[in-house]
């Protein structure tokens, strides 16, 4: 993606899919090989790394990040996310190694979601159908709540995998689920917070950082929470500019309309592109709000600050790559109409990385077919009754060529009587087809679960996540090799091997 006025980022966008992991084969039923998606160009990245200016240095220092040197950043909401998000983490580390940068992971704790929720596949029933169940590690059935909400030290220590979950879980996830249960019992990811409590975002992030296959990737990666951006000078200055400038707000609205695929609406009258904290909830910030109200950045403001001041390369997922077009359009409009950039003259380059890694839940081959029973009810030939099919075809042609009236109605009655006679004659065959359809529908449900790419990383084995990491690093290496200024082996330039 190219931001208007951003001369450091080329306009080329590469779509690259790679299957990795030589040790894995298609015979791993339902799991297959990791598939990695890359969009973006790295040509000229090394030469285009900017010097960290005083505004960016101050911003980074306020977030506890290095004041100097390049930063590669990515992030996501604090759910127990799937391997497509892990691919961004793996890519962030690999790219940071290649350019000698600091890798940083952003936890978007300004969102509202149902954290500490884990959806798992269940053991097939007698008919072979796989199901799914949802676990709450905190034992509550709560609705969507802010990720910033804190829970008590006692509740932190009480996190558990429900006792019946291991018995009901599909065999392929029992060992990873058992590892999570042991980690909960030992408090491996909450020890530092046990005396003070923790936010739900911190706990979700702690679980992911303790997950085998992810723990190694998180090592050495800085963690920043989106809510922390609200304490920076740059955020305060931007919020005040948005209050004072109708032109900036109008440019925002125009940018959302320019990119409807991002599904971002224009601002309502008197609204700001910020959140305001109201009790335990976030609500849209308004021009009429008290100036001392606690404000938080929305997603587009978060990315604006980070790409403008916080990093030299940002790794998006597929969704972020779409909404980022609104940001780039807004940045260009603000620079061209007001003369003053939103936060910086240029935005850091952005690439898109995602991946698919499925659980081994069954065949990923041809989808089950059903509907034979319904078709046979109206098609005698499917029941092996050619003579009845011939009579039906003749009646259908006669009906089509006969004007509306009593004669045509009589032909319809003869057609229905014929089909009723055929159904009675082939009752046993139709009953078998009905059972076959019912079984196929159950298998179709299982096939959909087997094809689901959104099962949490905590359910995948360390070996599977290692294959994904190797596949992502191979794609990064290929993109770096295709770009000028990077030699072979850049991803492992510091002697680090793939997990």
Per the structure, the complete domain to which residue 30 belongs is given by: 1-359+455-499
Domain endpoint, select from 413, 432, 450:
450
Check residue 144 and give its pLDDT: 75
Regarding whether 410 and 336 lie in a shared domain, the answer is no
Regarding whether 334 and 318 lie in a shared domain, the answer is yes
Regarding whether 493 and 436 lie in a shared domain, the answer is no
Regarding whether 84 and 9 lie in a shared domain, the answer is yes
Give a yes or no: residue 366 inside a domain: no
pTM over 0.85? The answer is no
Give a yes or no: residue 66 inside a domain: yes
Give a yes or no: residue 298 inside a domain: yes
> Positive or negative CA dihedral for 420, 421, 422, 427?
positive
Give a yes or no: residue 91 inside a domain: yes
Question: Which comes out higher in pLDDT, residue 361 or 193?
Answer: 361
Q: Quick one: pLDDT band at residue 383, thresholds 50, 70, 90?
A: confident
Regarding whether 464 and 417 lie in a shared domain, the answer is no
Give a yes or no: residue 365 inside a domain: no
Place of tokens 């179709």: 444
- Domains contained in the chain, number: 2
Nearest to 468 by CA among 180, 94, 73: 94
- The stretch 109-120 carries a mean pLDDT of 87
Regarding whether 409 and 473 lie in a shared domain, the answer is no
C-alpha 499/C-alpha 490 separation (Å) is 16
Regarding whether 148 and 60 lie in a shared domain, the answer is yes
**Cβ proximity of 490 and 477 under 8 Å:** yes
Give a yes or no: residue 486 inside a domain: yes
Domain endpoint, select from 409, 435, 450:
450
Check residue 142 and give its pLDDT: 63
Regarding whether 219 and 110 lie in a shared domain, the answer is yes
Regarding whether 292 and 392 lie in a shared domain, the answer is no
**pLDDT tens-digit series, residues 414-447:** 999 999 998 999 888 888 877 776 655 555 556 7
Give a yes or no: residue 367 inside a domain: no
What percent of the chain is predicted at pLDDT more than 90? 51
Regarding whether 305 and 190 lie in a shared domain, the answer is yes
Residues 6+ apart with CB under 8 A from 302: 106, 108, 110, 226, 229
**pLDDT tens-digit series, residues 221-258:** 999 999 999 999 999 999 999 999 999 999 999 999 99
- Using the predicted structure, report yes or no on whether residue 168 has a pLDDT greater than 90: yes
Regarding whether 394 and 279 lie in a shared domain, the answer is no
Give a yes or no: residue 293 inside a domain: yes
Q: Quick one: pLDDT band at residue 365, thresholds 50, 70, 90?
A: very low
Regarding whether 408 and 459 lie in a shared domain, the answer is no
Domain endpoint, select from 431, 450, 469:
450
Cα torsion 184, 190, 191, 195 to 10°: value is -120
């Amino acid at each position: 993606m190219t931001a208007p006025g951003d001369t450091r980022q080329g306009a080329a966008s590469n779509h690259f899919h790679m299957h990795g992991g030589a040790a894995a084969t298609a015979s791993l039923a339902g799991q297959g090989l990791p598939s990695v998606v890359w969009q973006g160009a790295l040509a000229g990245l090394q030469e285009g790394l900017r010097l960290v200016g005083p505004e960016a240095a101050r911003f980074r220092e306020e977030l506890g990040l290095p004041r100097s040197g390049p930063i590669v950043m990515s992030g996501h909401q604090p759910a127990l996310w799937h391997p497509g998000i892990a691919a961004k983490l793996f890519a962030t580390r690999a790219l940071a190694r290649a350019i000698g940068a600091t890798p940083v992971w952003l936890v978007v704790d300004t969102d509202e979601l149902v954290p500490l929720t884990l959806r798992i596949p269940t053991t097939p029933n007698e008919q072979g159908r796989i199901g799914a169940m949802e676990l709450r590690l905190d034992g509550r059935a709560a609705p969507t709540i802010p990720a910033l909400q804190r829970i008590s030290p006692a509740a932190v220590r009480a996190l558990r995998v429900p006792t019946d979950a291991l018995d009901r879980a599909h065999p392929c996830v029992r060992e990873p689920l058992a590892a999570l249960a042991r980690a909960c019992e030992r408090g491996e990811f909450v020890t530092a917070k046990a005396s003070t409590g923790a936010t739900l975002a911190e706990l979700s992030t702690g679980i992911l950082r303790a997950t085998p296959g992810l723990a190694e990737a998180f090592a050495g990666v800085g963690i920043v929470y989106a809510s922390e951006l609200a304490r920076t000078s740059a955020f305060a200055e931007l919020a005040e500019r948005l209050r004072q400038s109708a032109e900036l707000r109008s440019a925002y609205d125009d940018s959302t309309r320019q990119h409807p695929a991002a599904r971002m609406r224009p601002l309502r009258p008197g609204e700001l592109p910020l959140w305001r904290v109201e009790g335990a909830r976030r609500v849209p910030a308004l021009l009429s709000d008290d100036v001392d109200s606690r404000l938080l950045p929305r997603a587009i403001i978060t990315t604006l600050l980070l790409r403008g001041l916080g990093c030299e390369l940002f790794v998006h997922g597929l969704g972020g790559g779409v909404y980022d077009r609104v940001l780039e359009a807004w940045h260009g409009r603000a620079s061209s109409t007001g003369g003053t950039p939103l936060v910086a003259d240029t935005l850091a380059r952005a690439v898109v990385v995602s991946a698919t890694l499925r659980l081994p839940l069954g065949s990923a081959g041809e989808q089950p077919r059903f509907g034979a029973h319904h078709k046979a009810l109206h098609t005698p030939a499917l029941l092996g009754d050619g003579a009845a099919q011939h009579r039906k075809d003749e009646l259908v042609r006669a009906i089509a060529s006969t004007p509306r009236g009593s004669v045509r109605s009589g032909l319809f009655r003869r057609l229905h009587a014929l089909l009723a006679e055929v159904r009675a004659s082939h009752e046993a065959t139709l009953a078998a087809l009905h059972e076959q359809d019912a079984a196929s529908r159950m298998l179709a449900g299982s096939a959909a679960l087997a094809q689901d790419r959104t099962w949490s990383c905590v359910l995948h084995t360390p070996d599977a996540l290692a294959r994904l990491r190797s596949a992502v690093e191979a794609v990064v290496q290929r993109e770096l090799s295709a770009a000028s200024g990077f030699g072979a082996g850049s991803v492992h330039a510091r002697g680090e091997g793939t997990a």
